[in-house]
Amino acid sequence: MKRAFDVLVSAAALVALAPVLLLVALLVRLRLGSPVFFRQRRIGWKGAEFDILKFRTMTDARDASGAHLPDGDRLTPFGRFLRRTSLDELPELLNVLRGEMSLVGPRPLPVIYRDRYSPAQWRRHEVRPGLTGWAQVNGRNATTWQERFAHDLDYVDRHPFRRDLKILCMTVAAVLRREGIEAEGSATMHEFMGNEPGADEGR
């Protein structure tokens, strides 16, 4: 039922939102340049890797050595608008349609985190990653990594279909309220560097 729901909703949303997708793509091209889409390798279901697809929100500005400037310096007002409204996430509907993601599940994280998880935290990959999830409706980026992992594992252990419907409704409300978009002191979520000895590992 969950996979059938994902396919039906993502396909219908892509058709219904096609004018919005085209408009956002055009604005990204005009304001931020090419490429329009941001692609990044992420860890998915059972540890499989895939390329997540988003609208680009940052410039390609670099320092004298050729390294990218900090996220906060590259994130333009237009990019912040895309993030606040979650419009940058819409292309992920293609990931859902292809079966790489689900509408609801733990958010897929970069492959560089692969060796940083504790065994308990790795269990978040026992389900397909989601466009939204229990952690996203409970603080989004304004929570600690340990809190996010705890929410992810709670979802892994208890994810009846009715809970997915609840999370989707809560997501709409969270997007409208524009809550938890930025982590404290950062334009984006702080990088997960692993677990310190003796730290809460997300359970």
Local confidence band at 61 (pLDDT 50, 70, 90 cut-offs)? confident
Higher pLDDT, residue 92 or 172: 92
Is the predicted pLDDT of residue 106 greater than 50, yes or no? yes
Is the predicted pLDDT of residue 176 greater than 90, yes or no? no
Q: Residue 134 class from Cβ within 10 Å (0-12 exposed, 13-18 middle, 19+ buried)? A: buried
Distance separating alpha carbons of residues 184 and 117, to the nearest angstrom = 23
Query: 65: which residues sit within 8 A by CB, 6+ positions away?
Result: none
Model pTM greater than 0.75?
yes
Indicate the DSSP class of residue 110.
B
Distance separating alpha carbons of residues 93 and 203, to the nearest angstrom = 30
Compute the average pLDDT of residues 177-201: 62
Local confidence band at 45 (pLDDT 50, 70, 90 cut-offs)? very high
Asked whether the beta carbons of 97 and 10 are under 8 A apart, the reply is: yes
The tokens describing 136, both together, are: 């996203």
Local confidence band at 201 (pLDDT 50, 70, 90 cut-offs)? very low
The pLDDT score that the predictor gives to residue 199 is 44
Q: Alpha carbon of 197 to those of 64, 66, 200, 201: distances in Å? A: 37, 35, 9, 10
The pLDDT score that the predictor gives to residue 48 is 97
CA 20 to chain centre: 19
Distance separating alpha carbons of residues 203 and 182, to the nearest angstrom = 24
The pLDDT score that the predictor gives to residue 195 is 77
